[in-house]
Structure 1
């Protein structure tokens, strides 16, 4: 079996294992939450406390399709506590555990880091738009009307010279996939730049996404360019590469107002990033040991 096929198979097995672990953690968390709710209800009955439950509904009606990607606020869990939260993107203890070992990063970590770039690091930079994997996965299946509502109406993408998109190779509406890559829409360069740390294995998915969004972004004549970048030395660090490339590109674009000319990463940057992410989460939320 060719080496690249073996690596892909190993990556798929790691994803399946991570999914099984996440399911087990979710079951434990749900059990803990149910126990806490039952205890709270028991205490309220014993103390004759009347609890008022308020419900809300959207009274506005419209014939247009609502494409807001609504994410429920994560519930607290004693089994898998939230360590840090930005907007509606949160990371839990089980997510951070992926950073301690040779594990593939999940959607939660990529979502959280891109939210950090937009809401904290580049909060005052009106030239940047950061698209999380959660949004990019939806964008593959939206029509022009839905994409216009999401990108133009909600996120003012037409006014953004640079759009950084974290994406994976999943071909369904569900979360998942086996490989992360970074796509950058640059108006000054009139190009869509694709950075893939695994030999271009996600090129087809990135071209599909570009073809779906380029008209809505008014970039129909922009070129698609596969960029030379540092290749991962294992089958699980693609998410770390995406995060490091996003860091490097935003810094480069801030100085040169262009993506063209950016140099590949150094391996030392990749090696140091997991610990840096753990410290970042600790600084933004509850302190954890690392």
Structure 2
């Protein structure tokens, strides 16, 4: 079987065999896999709702490097100001044209609290990038007063390659507790067992979606 054979075409995401192999570990998850999961959440689990907006790596990268005057070009078509929580898949790349980078973390904007929460599984490695992104977005969401930025508590990875897995697990965890907690300050940490099984869960999801399209 060709290594780059398309395994799944899911809306705007094409998953190739080489992408799927990254889930078998121990490998760093690429932007395609994270984009797929964000798209699955948006288009399947939380379709036609105004609670959660999931912004994948490509658009997040554009937001991070674009001047404030251009941010509306990316967010207005998504009706971003209407959502309660906005999830952004952040990496440490400084290159404008591509995503990539070496580390993933999660930036979440909570509209009710007018606060950006940064969840980083590697000791705030992406803190600078998160603050740059939050500063630009703050002017878009809260033009009168600057939004609060909080480096949130996050379960720490025990290896050099699971940052993307932690990102996705943090997304799931926040969704699961957001309606019960008054603030994202109080959500607690992801269970490590969930992190350990997340790759297999995504593999099963891809297999299920692939079978439905056959």
Relative to the length of structure 2, the TM-score reads: 0.92
Structure 1 SS opposite 2:185: coil
Deviation of 1:167 after TM superposition, in Å, equals 0.6
Indicate whether 1:242 and 2:173 are aligned.
Answer: no
Deviation of 1:169 after TM superposition, in Å, equals 0.5
Indicate whether 1:169 and 2:82 are aligned.
Answer: no
- The residue that corresponds to 1:185 in the other structure is 109
Match for residue 227 of structure 1 among 152, 156, 167: 152
Deviation of 1:257 after TM superposition, in Å, equals 6.2
Larger Rg: 1
Give me the whole-angstrom Cα distance separating, in 1, the residues matched to 2:48 and 2:209.
Answer: 18
Structure 1 SS opposite 2:21: helix
Post-superposition Cα deviations, 1:237-275, rounded to whole Å, max 9, x if no partner, equal 000000000011112124446423101012111111111
Structure 2 SS opposite 1:100: coil
- The residue that corresponds to 1:126 in the other structure is 50
User: What stretches of structure 1 of length at least 5 have no aligned partner?
Assistant: 1-76
Deviation of 1:234 after TM superposition, in Å, equals 0.4
1:83·1:286 contact (CA, 8 Å) conserved in 2?
no
Structure 1 SS opposite 2:23: helix
Deviation of 1:192 after TM superposition, in Å, equals 0.3
Indicate whether 1:95 and 2:2 are aligned.
Answer: no
- The residue that corresponds to 2:192 in the other structure is 267
Give me the whole-angstrom Cα distance separating, in 2, the residues matched to 1:232 and 1:78.
Answer: 33
Post-superposition Cα deviations, 1:66-113, rounded to whole Å, max 9, x if no partner, equal xxxxxxxxxxx9552222232211211110101112001001001111
Structure 1 SS opposite 2:65: coil
User: What stretches of structure 2 of length at least 5 have no aligned partner?
Assistant: none
Size of the aligned set, in residue pairs, is 210
Give me the whole-angstrom Cα distance separating, in 2, the residues matched to 1:123 and 1:254.
Answer: 17
Give me the whole-angstrom Cα distance separating, in 2, the residues matched to 1:177 and 1:265.
Answer: 24
Structure 1 SS opposite 2:86: strand
- The residue that corresponds to 1:281 in the other structure is 206
Indicate whether 1:251 and 2:176 are aligned.
Answer: yes
Post-superposition Cα deviations, 1:129-169, rounded to whole Å, max 9, x if no partner, equal 111011110112222332112112x0111111210011100
Deviates more, 1:135-144 or 1:226-235: 135-144
1:188·1:257 contact (CA, 8 Å) conserved in 2?
no
- The residue that corresponds to 1:136 in the other structure is 60
Q: Which runs of 4+ in 1 moved over 3 A?
A: 254-258
Give me the whole-angstrom Cα distance separating, in 1, the residues matched to 2:104 and 2:72.
Answer: 25
The structure with more strand, counted as a fraction of residues? 2
Give me the whole-angstrom Cα distance separating, in 1, the residues matched to 2:11 and 2:88.
Answer: 18
Relative to the length of structure 1, the TM-score reads: 0.69
- The residue that corresponds to 1:145 in the other structure is 69
